Amino acid sequence: MSRLETVEVFGSRVEAELARGYLKNMGIETHIVADDAGQLYPSLGSVRGIKLLARSEFVSEAKELLDK
Q: pLDDT digits over 37-62, tens only?
A: 665 566 665 667 899 999 999 999 99
Nearest to 7 by CA among 45, 49, 51: 51
What is the pLDDT, as a whole number, of residue 68?
78
20 in Cβ contact with 13 (< 8 Å):
no
Helix axes 13-25, 59-67, angle to 10 degrees: 110
Range of the domain at 36: 4-67
What is the pLDDT, as a whole number, of residue 1?
62
Query: CA 24 to CA 18: how far, in whole Å?
Result: 10
Query: Residue 11: pLDDT band by 50, 70, 90 thresholds?
Result: confident
How many domains is the chain partitioned into structurally?
A: 1
Phi, psi torsion values for 47, nearest 5 degrees: -85, -50
